[in-house]
Amino acid sequence: MSARLRPPESARATALAHPNIALIKYWGNRDPYWRWPANGSFSFNLDGLWTRTTVHFRAELEQDVLWLHRRRVTGEGLRRVQRVLDAVREQAGFTWKAEVISENNFPMAAGIASSASAFAALAVAAAAAAGLRLREPELSRLARLGSGSAARSVPGGYVEWRVGAHEADSFAYTFAPAEHWALADCIAIVQETPKAIGSSAGHNLAETSPLQAARVADTPRRLALVRHAVQTRDFELLAQVVEQDTHLMHAVMQTSTPPLLYWTPASVRVMQHVRAWRGQGQPVAYTLDAGPNVHVLCPADDAANVATALAEVPGVQRVLIARVGGPARLLPPEQALSPKGPAASEG
C-alpha cells in the first residue's frame, strides 16, 4: 500500500453504464469470493437503459453510505458496494469512506441485470474519484468483484468475458463495436416483482446440478459459434446457439438442489410465439436470465414491429426496446447526483 492517506482534492466522480444481455450465460463460479466464473460468457450492452452513479470520498465520513433512488441502503447491498470501494482504497492507498449515490432509469425487478450496470458505473466512478487511472481490463475486473455480469458492462458493444488463467486475468473486452451489427433486445415484461432467488444465490447452487459440468464443458463450442455468428452477422446461427444456451442454463437451474424455476406460463407462451415467428421466416430469438421476463433479439429495424407483436401475447405487461449500447463512461461534474437531488435525465 502506498503512503498516500487521502484521495486527491477532486475526490468525486460520476459515471454511467448500461446493463447487458448475455448471449452465452455466466452461471456458476470457480471461486465465488472473487466471482471467478465457471465459464466464459458473451453479451451486448443495452443502450437507452442505464445506471448513473456518483462516488464521493470524504474525510469526515465515519462509514460508507449508499443511496439508491434517494433511499439509504444497508446490509448486503452496501457490503457488495464496499467490496469494490475497498479494492479501490487499497490500490489508491487511502482509507477515506465514501458516499455513493445511484439511480437507474429502468425497473430494477424487470429481469434486467441492474447489478451489471450498477457495479460497472460504480467501478468507473470510484476509480476516477480516487484518482486511479485504470485501463479497461482493470475496471472490468474491479466491476466483477461486485457482480460478475458487471465485468461485461464496462467495455462497449458486443463483449466477451473470458474465464482467464487465474482470477486477476478474468475480465471482459469488446469483441465488436456496437455499430458492427444493429440488433435490438425487445424485453417482454411478464412480471415486475423481485425474483425469489437472486443470481448470487443461484450461482452457488449450480454445482448441485448434474448437468452443470456438461454445460460448462460445452461452453467453448457455443462461444465459438456466437463469435462466428456476430462476426458474420448470421442471425439464424445466433438464434440457434443463444436459445440452446438459455435452455442449458435453465436446465441447470431446474435440476439444482433446491431447483430454481424462473419461468411463468407467460414466459413459455412468449418463447413459443418467438419460435413460431422464426419458423415463418422472421429473424427473432429469445433468451431469459434468472427471471421470467423474455429478451427477444431481432434486427434493430424490426424492433418496433416485434415489440407490437409481443405486447399482444397474453401475459405480457409491457415491452422495453434497447439497441446495442456503448461502454461505461465518466460524466462531467455537473451531472453528479446528490442524495436529495432531483431525478436525473440521461447525460
Binding site for ligand DP6 (CB under 6 A): 22, 25-27, 35, 41, 113, 115, 147-149, 199-200, 203, 289-290
Q: How far is the CB of 117 from ligand DP6 (least distance, A)?
A: 11
Q: How far is the CB of 88 from ligand DP6 (least distance, A)?
A: 18
Strand ordering across the sheet containing 51-58: 71-73, 65-68, 97-104, 51-58, 12-17, 329-331
User: 149 or 170, CB closer to ligand DP6?
Assistant: 149
Helices 136-146 and 114-129, axial angle in degrees (round to 10): 120
Q: How far is the CB of 55 from ligand DP6 (least distance, A)?
A: 19
Secondary structure letter of residue 25 according to DSSP = -
H-helix segments, the chain: 76-92, 114-129, 136-146, 199-205, 212-232, 235-254, 265-279, 303-311
Residue with cell 415484461: 189
Q: Is 29 in a helix, a strand, or coil?
A: strand
User: 54 or 117, CB closer to ligand DP6?
Assistant: 117
User: 172 or 321, CB closer to ligand DP6?
Assistant: 172
* Contact in structure between 88 and 126 (CB atoms under 8 Å): yes
User: 122 or 309, CB closer to ligand DP6?
Assistant: 122
Q: How far is the CB of 273 from ligand DP6 (least distance, A)?
A: 22
User: 56 or 114, CB closer to ligand DP6?
Assistant: 114
Q: How far is the CB of 29 from ligand DP6 (least distance, A)?
A: 8
Q: What is the largest CA-CA distance in the chain?
A: 66
Q: How far is the CB of 246 from ligand DP6 (least distance, A)?
A: 9
User: 223 or 331, CB closer to ligand DP6?
Assistant: 223
Rg of the chain in Å (alpha carbons): 20
H-helix segments, 132-281: 136-146, 199-205, 212-232, 235-254, 265-279
User: 17 or 336, CB closer to ligand DP6?
Assistant: 17
Q: How far is the CB of 148 from ligand DP6 (least distance, A)?
A: 3
